[in-house]
Amino acid sequence: MPAFFRETRFQPARILLLRTRQTPPQRHWIIGVNSRRSQGSRAELSKQRETLRPVCALGILKSTMTERVVFITGANGGLGTFVTKRFLEIDAIVVGGSRKISKEDFEWPNFVPLPVDFTKSNAVRDAVQSVVTRFGRLDVLVHVLGGFAGGSAVAQTDDATWEQMRDLNLTSAFYVLRAAIPHLRKSGKGRIVAIGSLAAVEPHAGLAAYVTFKSALTTLVRTVALENKDSGMTANVVLPATMDTPANRKSMPGADFSKWVQPADVADLVLWLADERAEHINGMAIPIDNPKA
């Protein structure tokens, strides 16, 4: 594994919320990340994180994300549900996109459902434009949509699997990025956060189609960051290991679920990257896994 990923992989139990003093004396909550070398037991760190997480979600981030317009793809999926709720809890205006989605999925007054097929270019373009037309702007794009299919070596991968993985994990991202970037640039502090996979940098045999297009997604997002670095917009991609979602439990019933990444931890990281004060984080591919793995 490249040295960068060895040094920067996020461990959920090491994500802490630290209170600091500034001049004039004023208390703020910020997210700090400790490495594996950090002092203190894992249990103690986990307890601190669980105790302080609500302060992060409803405190300083709420003050900066209130009424920001956030477009989330795959909003009602296994991870998307956690991400969408995080933004709703801090009073962002959330437009949730998915092929099938309704107001009943999230009963918050600041939630707007938007059914859209993200594998269709014109549908994505019209969806993004409808968000901007309704709210006058777009501040944050969170691209959660994706899909998984594996179990075949390259020589046995059929066209249908290859094309499905391409459309869900790369083409959808390209369409929504292309449509959203001009509006995010106008925001002045636009944020793009995409969900990739740790497999993008740690490929496994039998997952050729999936890892190929997740790797391409990572490169695409980092390229967007380079192309727009002078606009105030940032673009980052989060690379989770296997997540504890209903779909994954169903497909891998014999796995040790305790070693999987919790979607809530991924959602917390996404929320921080979408904040205005995360302007110094740009073009990063950030792995996140479970310290028990």
Q: Whose structure tokens read 């640039």?
A: 185
For the question of residue 175 being annotated catalytic, the response is no
Q: Whose structure tokens read 């001049």?
A: 23
Compute the distance between CA of residue 33 and CA of residue 102 in angstroms, rounded to an integer. 36
Number of C-beta neighbours around residue 8 at 10 A = 14
Compute the distance between CA of residue 218 and CA of residue 195 in angstroms, rounded to an integer. 9
Compute the distance between CA of residue 159 and CA of residue 198 in angstroms, rounded to an integer. 24
Distances (CA, A) of 147 to 78, 98, 290: 11, 13, 21
Among the listed residues 87, 210, 260, 272, the single catalytic one is 210
- Which of 172, 169, 173, 155 lies closest to 199, judged by CA? 169
Q: CB–CB of 130/115 below 8 Å?
A: no
Which residues are catalytically annotated? 210
